[in-house]
Structure 1
Amino acid sequence: MVVTSGCGALFYPRLPTVHNASTEELVGDWTGPDGAKVILERDGRAEVRDLGGEDWAFDRGWGLSGTGTWQLIEGASGETIGGAPAVQISITNVTGQIQRPPRSIDKWTTAPYSPIGEYTWKFGMERTKEGLQPYYLAGDPDSPNLYHLKRT
């Protein structure tokens, strides 16, 4: 007898994690998918421009701009990617919202999303030959797409 499950720890992909990142490595200007911009200031302030939502929210095709705060948070099972430390960006002052046109990969994109008052991302981190790269997950958690930020 074979037992299967659509959602289970054994079926989730293994995601890259970093346990020794410093806030100094993260301070600066970053670009994301579809031309999004992320600015992480030394004093904990953050700004995003046209950054799409995480997980299922990304499939709805919206992005937002605004200001708020960022911090490096300790991970815990179920709270961050792989239980590793994460970059948390909380936008509390939304200054704009976009709806990208549907793309062929966005099967679940719906009508424009209702206005968003605030939003929080939790970015995992990966070390590559380019250095530390924060990323967030988009789409189905069983088969997510990783969207990396690249330093500009």
Structure 2
Amino acid sequence: MRAWGAVLGGLVLVLVVLTGCAGPYQYYEGTGVHDATAAEVAGAWENIEGTRVVLRKDGTAQVEALDGSDFAFEDGWRLFGTGTWRLADEKGGQRVWLELTKRTKVTTRSPSPSPSPSAVPVAPTPTADPPSVYSWGFYVRRDQRDELELFFFVGDPDIGNTYVVSREAESSTEAP
């Protein structure tokens, strides 16, 4: 009986270890949005960090200060350049696939605000050589007003932090 208890305890321990590192991103299947059109996605997108992404109707894109996704976000670089994009309808929902094909500039992200006045902000350490080409997979979701938002995960996947870009205030579905 003790042997069975040890085996069962061992199996439970293995399952806990295997599932303990599985954060929200690792099992994320998408937003369930399947009704967005390429014309609706085309336009200018921004976030509060100064990122700007222009998705043109002809499938070309302009990228300004866009951070890396997943663990690359922690490297602190921000890319500028041109590329292509496409809207894909996948099982879990739609995604915008953005490819930076020509990098024109690289900057680094500013340090995050300190959590307290006495804390010293720490700037991210950029990698020695930021990528000259890069790909992002933005998930497509709708906000409370039924407006589109695009996002991807950043940092440690166990945490589930998202990087959200919203329609630029002056932008319409008519992209430049």
Q: Shorter-chain TM-score: what band?
A: 0.7 to 0.9
| Pairs within 5 Å for 1:1-152 | 1=9, 2=12, 3-4=15-16, 5=18, 6-8=20-22, 11-12=23-24, 16-75=31-90, 83-103=92-112, 109-130=124-145, 131-152=147-168
Could you list the structure 1 runs, at least 4 aligned residues long, displaced by more than 6 angstroms after superposition: 105-108
Amino acid at match of 2:24: Y
Alpha-carbon separation, structure 1, partners of 2:80 and 2:32: 27
Indicate if the aligned counterparts of 1:68 and 1:93 stay in contact, CA closer than 8 A.
yes
TM-score, normalising length from structure 1?
A: 0.82
Which structure carries more helix by proportion? 2
Aligned pairs, number: 144
Which structure has the larger Rg over C-alpha atoms? 2
Q: Deviations over 1:36-80 (max 9, x none)?
A: 00000000000110010001111111110000100012336xxxx
Alpha-carbon separation, structure 2, partners of 1:52 and 1:33: 12
Which ranges of structure 2 fall in alignment gaps of 5 or more residues? 1-8, 116-120, 169-176
Judging changes above 3 Å, is the alpha-carbon distance between structure 1 residues 66 and 88 closer, same or farther for their aligned structure 2 residues? same
Q: What percentage of aligned pairs have identical amino acids?
A: 35
Cα drift, residue 12 of structure 1: 2.2
Indicate if the aligned counterparts of 2:77 and 2:126 stay in contact, CA closer than 8 A.
no
Alpha-carbon separation, structure 2, partners of 1:37 and 1:111: 20
Which ranges of structure 1 fall in alignment gaps of 5 or more residues? 77-82
Bigger mean CA deviation after superposition, 63-72 or 109-118 = 109-118
TM-score, normalising length from structure 2?
A: 0.72
Indicate if the aligned counterparts of 2:153 and 2:163 stay in contact, CA closer than 8 A.
yes
What's the Cα RMSD here?
2.4
Judging changes above 3 Å, is the alpha-carbon distance between structure 1 residues 18 and 107 closer, same or farther for their aligned structure 2 residues? farther
